[in-house]
Structure 1
Amino acid sequence: MYKLVLYVAMMAIWLSAHTLQIEEEMAMKALFQGKRAVNRAAHAAAQQVDKTALADGIARIDASAASDAAALYLQRNLQLDENGEPLARSFLRERVDILVFEVINDDREFPFFYRNEDYDFEAVLKQPGVVLIVRMAHPRRFSVMEPISWEIKGTAELVVG
């Protein structure tokens, strides 16, 4: 009888450990998907050239178009609606928030050292670019781990030529 109790206890421990491992792997996959989406969104935003300034020979990012492009790329890559809420087919369960969206244009001197102490982020931009910081929460499936949320950071520079 005591062996049966031992086997049941060991199965419960094994199942808990296995569930924790699956949860950790899912968290890493979600983080990588989020990082790729942020990088793509920042890159898309940085490519929104201000055509009137470019006609005068000035490389500048159109901030309004950049903001729209970044939001669209995040929506499409993370399957979100216009408000950042996950769609039914999304792997996410909680709202994705854009914490920082900043366009660094030709009004700054390059190379530009960007620093955001609130989110402990630094980057050096050699030409006009975009800084994007997004908060995303891990969609826990088994509730074995504590809730995790990430502040995912990305930058991209305007590529003209």
Structure 2
Amino acid sequence: MGKLVFSVLMIVIWWMLHALQMDEEVAMQTVHEAKRAVDRAAHAAAQQVDRDKLEMGIISIDPALAEVATLSYLRNNLSLDTQLAPLPGSFLRDQVEVKAFAIINEDESFPYTYRNPLYDYEVTLRRPGVVLIAHVKYPRLFGVIAPVEWDLKGSAELVY
């Protein structure tokens, strides 16, 4: 009888360890996919040239177009709706929050160092660029690990 109870307990422990490993692997896949989406969104925003200023020889990012591009890339790459809430079939379950979105334009002197102590982020830009910080929550599969949330940071410069 003791061996049977021991065997059942070992099977339960093995299942929990297996669930923990699966949860951790899916969490890593989630953070990598979300980080790629944030990087792509920042890059897309940084490429939105202000054509009116460009005609005057000033290289600048159009803030309105940059914001639209950022949200569009986040929605498309993370399967989100217009409120940044996950669509059916998305690997996320909670709404994505844009915590910081900064456009560093020609009115700054370059190289420019962007600092955000709240999110412990610093980046040096050599030309006009965009900084994006988005908050993503991991939808745990089994509830074996504690809730996991990330502030994913991305930046990009205008390429010309």
The two structures share one fold, judged by TM-score above 0.5? yes
Shift of 1:89: 1.2
Aligned to 1:61: 61
Q: TM-score, normalised by structure 1?
A: 0.98
Percent of aligned pairs with the same amino acid: 51
Kindly report structure 1 stretches of 4+ aligned residues shifted beyond 4 Å.
Answer: none
Shift of 1:56: 1.2
What secondary structure, in the 3-state scheme, does the structure 1 residue paired with 2:150 have? strand
Q: TM-score, normalised by structure 2?
A: 0.99
Shift of 1:35: 0.3
What RMSD in Å do the two structures reach over aligned CA positions? 0.5
Q: Which runs of 5+ in 1 are unaligned?
A: none
Aligned to 2:30: 30
Instruction: Tell me how far apart the structure 1 counterparts of residues 92 and 157 of structure 2 sit (CA, whole Å).
Output: 28
Instruction: Tell me how far apart the structure 2 counterparts of residues 147 and 5 of structure 1 sit (CA, whole Å).
Output: 32
Aligned to 2:155: 155
Aligned to 1:86: 86
CA deviations on 1:70-127 (whole Å, 9 max, x unpaired) are: 0000000000000010001101000000000110000000000110001100000000
AA aligned opposite 1:58: I
Aligned to 2:123: 123
CA deviations on 1:2-32 (whole Å, 9 max, x unpaired) are: 1111110110111100100000000000000
Shift of 1:55: 1.1
AA aligned opposite 2:116: N
Instruction: Tell me how far apart the structure 2 counterparts of residues 103 and 155 of structure 1 sit (CA, whole Å).
Output: 10
Shift of 1:66: 0.1
2:92 is aligned with 1:99:
no
Shift of 1:57: 1.1
2:7 is aligned with 1:7:
yes
Instruction: Tell me how far apart the structure 2 counterparts of residues 70 and 76 of structure 1 sit (CA, whole Å).
Output: 10
Aligned to 1:16: 16
Instruction: Tell me how far apart the structure 1 counterparts of residues 56 and 2 of structure 2 sit (CA, whole Å).
Output: 85
Aligned residues: 160
Q: Which runs of 5+ in 2 are unaligned?
A: none
What secondary structure, in the 3-state scheme, does the structure 1 residue paired with 2:23 have? helix
